[in-house]
């Protein structure tokens, strides 16, 4: 068997949360640890790919053989992804904040004994959808979907709406911090145009290996067409 089935391929991965600044000391964030995305980057590098990893703020070691670019906000992540394309495969695992504050306060916001400030939010760019519709669209574009209900149904809708090839969907309901978000294990569904594959619950490293295997199979299939 080929131990480096992704040799010669560029795989771009996004991982982690984004931080959306409110003022110099405060930000909006989410519970993404970056573990699943980092594991996918590691597995792709093990499979011989050239891997670029755009990482939001996380406390994780860079996997061996992976080229890492750190960003904070969704806008920074979008710019970095654009800069790193083209890629043969992109796996967008990052839990990008849907919103950012409309106006960044240059100075730390004060209590001043008056009413609490209202945070006015505005929508962030959808990096995945932008890449899907762009000129540099990777041949295999994979998104993730973190859902708390109707996981597979929502993933099918998301796959079509975003114009991506596969959606890897997981259920992020469950205990805070030790569940899927922040935890070590994951149970995913791989939703493609062909159907839905249900994987057992397993360590995120094993989910990553399984996904990379399927990526290699898909690229090999394309090459034979």
- 48 interacts with ligand C5P by CB under 6 A: no
Distance CA 69, CA 164 (A): 23
Q: Which of 18, 6, 13, 16 is nearest to 41 (CA)?
A: 13
Identity of the residue, 48 or 80, whose beta carbon is nearer to ligand C5P in the bound complex: 80
Residue 158 marked as a ligand binder: yes
Q: Would you say 104 is a known binding-site residue?
A: no
Quote the distance between the C-alpha of residue 94 and its chain's center.
Answer: 3
SS3 content of the chain, % helix, strand, coil (to 5): 30, 25, 45
**Closest CB 71 distance from ligand C5P, rounded Å:** 12
Q: Output 5 or 21, the one with its CB closest to ligand C5P.
A: 21
Question: Do 27 and 21 contact (CB within 8 A), yes or no?
Answer: yes
Nearest approach in angstroms of CB 46 to ligand C5P is 22
* From 30, 124, 170, 186, the catalytic residue: 30
Alpha carbon distance 67, 51 (integer Å): 6
Q: Write the interaction track for ligand C5P spanning residues 160-179; mark x where CB under 6 A is met and - where it is not.
A: --------------------
145 makes contact with ligand C5P (CB under 6 A)? yes
* Tokens, residue 51: 């891997």
Active site residue 136: no
Taking the complex as a whole, how short is the minimal distance between the CB of residue 225 and ligand C5P, in angstroms?
A: 26
């Amino acid at each position: 068997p080929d131990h480096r089935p992704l040799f010669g391929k560029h795989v771009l991965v996004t991982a982690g949360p984004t931080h959306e600044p409110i003022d110099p000391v405060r930000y909006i964030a989410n519970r993404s640890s970056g573990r699943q995305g980092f594991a996918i980057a590691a597995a792709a590098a093990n499979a011989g790919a050239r891997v670029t990893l755009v990482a939001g703020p996380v406390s994780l070691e860079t996997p061996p053989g992976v080229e890492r670019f750190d960003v904070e906000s969704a806008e920074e992540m979008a710019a970095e992804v654009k800069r790193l394309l083209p890629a043969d495969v992109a796996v967008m695992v990052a839990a990008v904040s849907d919103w950012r504050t409309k106006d960044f306060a240059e100075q730390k916001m004060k209590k001043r004994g008056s009413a609490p400030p209202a945070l006015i939010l505005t929508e962030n760019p959808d990096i995945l959808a932008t890449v899907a519709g762009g000129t540099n669209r990777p041949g295999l574009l994979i998104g993730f979907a973190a859902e708390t209900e109707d996981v597979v149904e929502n993933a099918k809708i998301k796959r079509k709406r975003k114009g991506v090839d596969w959606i890897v969907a997981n259920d992020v309901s469950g205990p805070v911090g030790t569940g899927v978000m922040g935890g070590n294990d994951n149970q995913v569904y791989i939703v493609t145009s062909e159907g839905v594959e249900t994987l057992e619950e397993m360590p995120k490293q094993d989910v990553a290996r399984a996904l990379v295997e399927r990526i290699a199979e898909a690229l090999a299939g394309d090459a034979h067409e």
